[in-house]
């Protein structure tokens, strides 16, 4: 009997060790890889977010990738909210307190979860596809929006009704960025992302250049020549991007063109605006007025360093880039000024909206109407706009706030203090000139082709602009 018992115990032990063996062998051979990938999805995204989201304060999302907090009235309707920027969640939580105070009969309790950028978007898409597991609200980065809005009515709840009370004050072009193919609006915008010119006024003054006289790209080029001579070629007027399309968006907006062709399509990148901008940039590079942005664009470590080292004196970027100065280049305080962008011809619009985060309400929500009402209040009401400007430093979509000098010129606001010009003065100046480039299903393909191939060919390899655009068009047409 003892023998049998021993045999049984031994065989159990053997089986167990075999099982354990299975597990460990899998993790050593097949791999290292599998384990590695897991780590990647968790960590790379912080980096990714910093590079890709084009929003302020991403650092917070990076520091605490899985922050979960529950805020609000425990007796109210319970909801879930996901974001990839913790500061966004903090802001929504503060708005939730106000909502609950103002609407005692419609109180809400929200559990906020912050995920890393790529993780969150993948998770959201998967849960929308599966029809279960999605949160009530979710922040969606504008570049990812086409994927999410592809399921229009079946996945998301339209916000048009909820936005009605604020519609008069909202910048329509920003709302339209988050429209679906059916014309309804599915995302509550965070900011306008108006593109302006950032000038290192101190540096330019030291070489006798007055940035306020620059109105057209010809003026800009002339200033570049002057700067080159005055500084013995040490300072470039700007750096052009091989991994970003901001310059091209600006050009398209100035000419009133749009390479996506909107929802109807077809996409066409062989536009006058794009050709003119690229040809002009090639000219700048040939005459050493401009340099190619180190590592591809100015919103990266090397780009910040390039600015800090005083190698470039200006660049166009959306207003949310202000937060980069505060976070990564505090030494530059008081040196920089903002101004409307130069134009090709008199009378063209001088700005374009770039970047952003739209908050969607999913159809899986327990009470989509309540959710929509809350998010519209939190992001689009005057109260919400004030909060966004004060906590996140963005150019808000509710234009009623733009003229309220007690907020926009508040002397202790760190953004107001940092720059020589007031961001809202510039915003009011270009108010009716902020163009919109559609973000539709083909957008990621165009972006990718431009940033990976075309811009490198044109700016680094000196390829003929028409030839490069034809090649890009061929690839993009294949995807439609």
336, with CB counted inside 10 A (0-12, 13-18, 19+), is: buried
**CA angle at residue 254 from 249 to 259, to 5 degrees?**
45
**CA-closest candidate to residue 96, choices 65, 58, 70:** 70
Helix (H, G, I), strand (E, B) or coil at 480: coil
Site for other proteins contains 154 (CB under 8 A): yes
Asked if 453 interacts with other proteins (CB under 8 A), we say yes
DSSP state of 158: -
Q: Which is nearer to other proteins, 22 or 333 (CB)?
A: 22
Q: How far is the CB of 155 from other proteins (least distance, A)?
A: 7
Calpha distance 257→14 (Å, rounded): 71
Q: Which of 47, 109, 218, 367 binds other proteins (CB under 8 A)?
A: 47
- Binding track, positions 304-343, relative to other proteins; x by CB under 8 A: -xx-------------------------------------
Helix, strand or coil for residue 179? strand
147 part of the interface to other proteins, by CB under 8 A: yes
- How many helices, marked H, and strands, marked E, lie in the chain? 23, 13
Select from 13, 43, 210, 467 the one that contacts other proteins (CB under 8 A).
43
User: Which residues within the stretch 236-275 sit at the binding site for other proteins (CB under 8 A)?
Assistant: 242-243
Q: Verify binding: residue 62, other proteins, rule CB under 8 A.
A: no
Task: Tell me the CB-side half-sphere exposure of residue 441, using CA atoms within 13 A.
Answer: 13
40, 68, 167, 333: which one binds other proteins (CB under 8 A): 40
State the pairing for strand pair 195-200/336-339.
antiparallel
How far is residue 51 from each of residues 46, 170, 303, 326, 418, measured CA to CA in Å?
9, 28, 11, 17, 23
From the CB of residue 13, how many other CB atoms can be counted at a distance below 10 Å? 10
**Total binding residues for other proteins by CB under 8 A?**
49
Q: Are 245 and 306 in contact (CB under 8 A)?
A: no
Answer for which of 9, 101, 167, 302 binds other proteins (CB under 8 A) is 302
Q: Judged by CB, which is closer to other proteins: 112, or 155?
A: 155
**Per-residue burial over 100-135, b = 16 or more CB atoms within 10 Å of its CB, e = otherwise:** beebeebbbbbbbbbbbbbbbbbbbbebbeeeeebb
Q: Does 150 bind other proteins (CB under 8 A)?
A: yes
Q: Which stretch binds other proteins (CB under 8 A): 255-263, 359-367, 429-437, 441-449?
A: 441-449
Q: What mask, x for binding other proteins by CB under 8 A, covers residues 185 to 224?
A: ----------------------------------------
Task: Show the CA angle centred on residue 269, arms to residues 264 and 271, nearest 5°.
Answer: 105
Q: Which is nearer to other proteins, 209 or 458 (CB)?
A: 458
Q: What interhelical angle do 117-130 and 32-52 show, nearest 10?
A: 100
Instruction: Considering only residues 4 through 33, tell me which ones interact with other proteins, judged by CB under 8 A.
Output: 11, 14-15, 18-19, 22, 26, 29, 32-33
Radius of gyration of the chain (CA): 25
* 363 part of the interface to other proteins, by CB under 8 A: no
Among 276, 294, 391, 429, binds other proteins (CB under 8 A): 294
Site string for other proteins, 155-184 (x = CB under 8 A): x-----------------------------
Contact between 66 and other proteins by CB under 8 A: the answer reads: no
Whole-number Å distance between alpha carbons of 224 and 220: 6
Q: Near other proteins by CB under 8 A, which window of 54-62, 215-223, 425-433, 446-454? A: 446-454
Helices within 145-239 (DSSP H only): 145-149, 152-155, 160-163, 172-177, 201-206, 217-230
- Strands, E assignment, 45-171: 68-72, 77-83, 108-114, 137-141
Closest approach, Cβ 247 to other proteins, in A, equals 17
314's enclosing H/E stretch is strand 314-318
If one asks whether residue 291 binds other proteins (CB under 8 A), the answer comes out as no
Pattern of binders to other proteins over 107-146, x per CB under 8 A?
---------------x--x--xx-----------------
Instruction: Provide the binding-site residues for other proteins, judged by CB under 8 A.
Output: 11, 14-15, 18-19, 22, 26, 29, 32-33, 36-37, 39-40, 43-44, 47-48, 51-52, 122, 125, 128-129, 147, 150-151, 154-155, 242-243, 294-296, 301-302, 305-306, 444-445, 448, 451-453, 456-457, 460, 475, 478
């Amino acid at each position: 009997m003892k023998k049998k018992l021993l045999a049984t115990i031994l065989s159990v032990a053997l089986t167990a060790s075999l099982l354990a063996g299975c597990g460990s062998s899998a993790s050593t051979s097949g791999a290292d890889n599998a384990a590695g990938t897991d780590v990647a999805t968790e960590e790379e995204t912080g980096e990714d977010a910093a590079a890709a989201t084009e929003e302020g304060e991403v650092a917070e999302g990076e520091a605490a990738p899985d922050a979960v907090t529950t805020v609000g009235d425990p007796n109210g309707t319970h909801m879930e909210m996901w974001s990839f920027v913790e500061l966004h969640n903090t802001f929504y939580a503060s708005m939730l307190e106000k909502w609950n105070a103002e609407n005692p009969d419609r109180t809400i309790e929200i559990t906020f979860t912050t995920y890393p950028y790529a993780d969150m978007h993948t998770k959201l898409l998967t849960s929308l596809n599966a029809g279960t597991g999605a949160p009530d609200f979710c922040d969606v980065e504008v570049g990812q929006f086409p994927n999410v809005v592809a399921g229009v009515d079946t996945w998301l709840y339209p916000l048009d009704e909820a936005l009605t009370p604020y519609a008069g004050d909202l910048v329509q072009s920003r709302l339209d960025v988050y429209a679906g193919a059916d014309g309804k609006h599915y995302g509550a915008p965070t900011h306008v992302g108006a593109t302006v010119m950032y000038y290192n006024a101190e540096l330019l003054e030291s070489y006798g250049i007055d940035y306020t006289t620059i109105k057209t790209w010809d003026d800009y080029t002339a200033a570049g020549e002057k700067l080159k001579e005055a500084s013995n070629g040490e300072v470039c007027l700007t750096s052009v991007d091989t991994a970003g399309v901001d310059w091209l968006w600006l050009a398209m907006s100035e000419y009133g063109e749009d390479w996506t062709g909107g929802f109807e399509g077809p996409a066409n990148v062989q536009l006058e605006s794009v050709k003119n901008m690229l040809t002009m940039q090639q000219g700048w590079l040939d005459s050493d007025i401009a340099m190619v942005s180190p590592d591809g664009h100015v919103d990266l470590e090397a780009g910040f360093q390039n600015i800090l080292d005083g190698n470039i004196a200006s660049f166009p970027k959306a207003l949310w880039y202000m937060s980069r100065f505060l976070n990564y280049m505090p030494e530059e305080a008081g040196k920089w000024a903002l101004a409307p962008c130069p134009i090709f011809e008199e009378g063209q619009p001088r700005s374009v909206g770039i970047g952003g985060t739209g908050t969607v309400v999913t159809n899986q929500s327990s009470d989509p109407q309540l959710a929509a009402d809350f998010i519209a209040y939190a992001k689009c009401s005057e109260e919400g706009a004030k909060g966004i400007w004060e906590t996140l430093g963005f150019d808000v979509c509710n234009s009623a706030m733009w003229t309220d000098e007690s907020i926009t010129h508040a002397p202790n606001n760190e953004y107001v203090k940092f720059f020589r010009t007031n961001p809202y003065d510039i915003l009011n100046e270009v108010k009716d000139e902020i163009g919109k480039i559609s973000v539709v299903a083909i957008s990621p393909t165009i972006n990718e082709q431009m940033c990976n191939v075309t811009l490198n060919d044109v700016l680094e390899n000196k390829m003929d602009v028409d030839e490069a655009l034809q090649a890009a068009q061929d690839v993009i047409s294949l995807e439609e």
